[in-house]
Structure 1
């Protein structure tokens, strides 16, 4: 879905009109947050958002996986597989599955780390453990109470913040903010801007760490676009962040096309984009997540082979702080599980 513009306006009659629905939704969501989840038996680290839409969660998952491996851990990512038809539990195989099977984010992540998709997250835990996981990284699921989290790392975009601060459907929040903050173990603020200042202060006043990070373009992606004028398209939570990242990396963006998050591109849409790019002598570029949705079980179709993926990684201003946090979280989680098992 496209996020409504009024979610990111400070005052809107539409938000006020939807407040009664938001109050009901928020009460249910807040109650769910208080439920006790199932103990997975191994540490569970959750990477989530306070709100619907994108903020850089997938790059954060990959950055967390890298640090965990540096610590000698064997992480497996657990995802609900949004947009995929398979209920699971199933281990994602990029050579066998398409985004229509398991979702675009799991398919993209599975090229780097083992990923299990399961609508029932308890089944996903069992499959992840059978694969030798020493730690489970939950991709989203912060508001889902099914599994107890040993630590939750929340991602927010510095430029967008939390919009009007209202609960869905009056605003983008998935649940009232106070119970979400109460369950936050660390906040990651991505990019530049002041929109996340208040939420960062609210987390910090509880004594929880606030980490700063930024998206860095992959060197190979930059090299492939050097000196070229591009037509950029994206169907992610915040397409404008992708366009800004391109420009901040020195890429000349001539044409932009934004689609809804997880948009299933039709053959006609791709052919139109390719024709527009060819007409104006532009290089067509998109995100890795969008390209994952274009891949079929046999790989990229011929019509999409000239599309250039723009890869990014999340870099923390002080990765040592996050590494120390991870070590502490894992130690405390294992100590707690040891005590309760006796």
Structure 2
């Protein structure tokens, strides 16, 4: 389901529907605050726990961030293990993801994607997932999307935000896109990582920079060079991620001609009937089907060779602030 447009109005814009919904937002924010405050004795792992989360509901770039941190730690000789809820999967866990035996329907699409880079444990109860990962020999835990989860003690909390959208209209669900108020959430953050191009980063700084007291780093998503020549390739592109439009623009930036763009809901299933319709439409006018790396793990086997993918990776011009935050944690490993 596409979020309402007013979620992404500037905070200075007139209230309208957001103002009418504000009493419900106050209830949502209060419920979140009570849930966090009521949690007593969160599980304290015997190994470092690094949380990668957000304030916004939906995609902000957490999965590419987790992959980037996995690879950055690996370059320094450390092995990270991911613990995640496994959104969209049927298994409640704790279960270690085995791509040969599990599908996206079992554990969710992001855990399947992440399992190509590190061991991944799926658990609806994050504390149980951390316990299982630690018992399995984990060295460092990356807690994916657990920023509002009060049952696991974190050594470092990184808030990821889409620089272009920022924190939207600054309101909490349902009047805006936030899980909790900006000031409340940022007070628990150790690092803010904003993702976007230079213009988007400048906008983010103008709108939200004054509210960020912790270190902040800028990053961007760049397509992984695979040798594929996208120039003038006519495509039918589909994407079930937080912001499908960003994927379509990435294709255009690569030189592809996006003749047909099909935005899907985040984590939306890809039934054969839908794929048949898109493939028939593409063949009728000579288009190539193309999707994101995350969507590709949800494709049925029969379509894996018929749909091109565009993997993207998070790039940080400067890791120094991240390394400074990691140093006291890694010294304990």
Task: Pick the TM interval, shorter chain.
Answer: over 0.9
Match of 1:288 in 2: 293
Matched residues in 1 for 2:280 and 2:224: separation?
27
Evaluate the alpha carbon distance shift between residue 321 and residue 178 of structure 1 in structure 2; reply closer, same or farther with a 3 A threshold: closer
Deviates more, 1:123-132 or 1:102-111: 123-132
Structure 2: tracts of 5 or more residues without a match: none
Structure 1: tracts of 5 or more residues without a match: 336-342
Matched residues in 1 for 2:255 and 2:196: separation?
16
Deviation by residue 1:15-48 (Cα, 9 ceiling, x = unmatched): 1221111101101112333445221121100111
Superposition map of 1:311-326 within 5 A: 311-326=311-326
Matched residues in 2 for 1:89 and 1:11: separation?
45
Deviation at 1:283, TM superposition (A): 1.4
**SS in structure 1 opposite 2:218?**
strand
Of 6, 16, 32, 2:19 maps to 16
Deviates more, 1:30-39 or 1:241-250: 30-39
Matched residues in 2 for 1:86 and 1:215: separation?
30
Q: TM-score, normalised to structure 1's length?
A: 0.90
Matched residues in 2 for 1:186 and 1:248: separation?
30
Superposition map of 1:58-207 within 5 A: 58-192=63-197, 193=200, 194-197=202-205, 198-203=207-212, 206=213
Question: Given that residues 183 and 211 in structure 2 are in contact (C-alpha distance below 8 angstroms), is that contact kept between their aligned partners in structure 1?
Answer: no
Deviation at 1:130, TM superposition (A): 2.2
Superposition map of 1:221-232 within 5 A: 223=228, 225-232=230-237
**SS in structure 2 opposite 1:305?**
coil
The alignment yields a C-alpha RMSD, in angstroms, of 1.7
**SS in structure 1 opposite 2:167?**
coil
Deviation at 1:246, TM superposition (A): 2.0
Match of 1:338 in 2: none
Matched residues in 2 for 1:33 and 1:242: separation?
34
**SS in structure 2 opposite 1:155?**
strand
Question: Given that residues 232 and 286 in structure 1 are in contact (C-alpha distance below 8 angstroms), is that contact kept between their aligned partners in structure 2?
Answer: yes
Question: Given that residues 44 and 149 in structure 1 are in contact (C-alpha distance below 8 angstroms), is that contact kept between their aligned partners in structure 2?
Answer: yes
Deviation at 1:304, TM superposition (A): 4.6
Match of 1:261 in 2: 266
Deviation at 1:322, TM superposition (A): 2.2
**SS in structure 2 opposite 1:223?**
coil
**SS in structure 1 opposite 2:72?**
helix
Question: Given that residues 188 and 212 in structure 1 are in contact (C-alpha distance below 8 angstroms), is that contact kept between their aligned partners in structure 2?
Answer: yes
Evaluate the alpha carbon distance shift between residue 253 and residue 281 of structure 1 in structure 2; reply closer, same or farther with a 3 A threshold: same
Question: Given that residues 220 and 316 in structure 2 are in contact (C-alpha distance below 8 angstroms), is that contact kept between their aligned partners in structure 1?
Answer: yes
Deviation by residue 1:196-220 (Cα, 9 ceiling, x = unmatched): 22333321xx2x2111111111111
Deviation at 1:326, TM superposition (A): 1.7
Question: Given that residues 83 and 133 in structure 2 are in contact (C-alpha distance below 8 angstroms), is that contact kept between their aligned partners in structure 1?
Answer: yes
Deviation at 1:272, TM superposition (A): 1.1
Deviation at 1:77, TM superposition (A): 0.1
Matched residues in 2 for 1:329 and 1:217: separation?
31
Aligned residues: 324
Question: Given that residues 160 and 195 in structure 1 are in contact (C-alpha distance below 8 angstroms), is that contact kept between their aligned partners in structure 2?
Answer: no
Deviation by residue 1:166-216 (Cα, 9 ceiling, x = unmatched): 00011110012212011111111111214422333321xx2x211111111
Question: Given that residues 40 and 148 in structure 1 are in contact (C-alpha distance below 8 angstroms), is that contact kept between their aligned partners in structure 2?
Answer: yes
Of 213, 216, 220, 1:214 maps to 220
Matched residues in 2 for 1:11 and 1:52: separation?
22
**SS in structure 1 opposite 2:98?**
coil
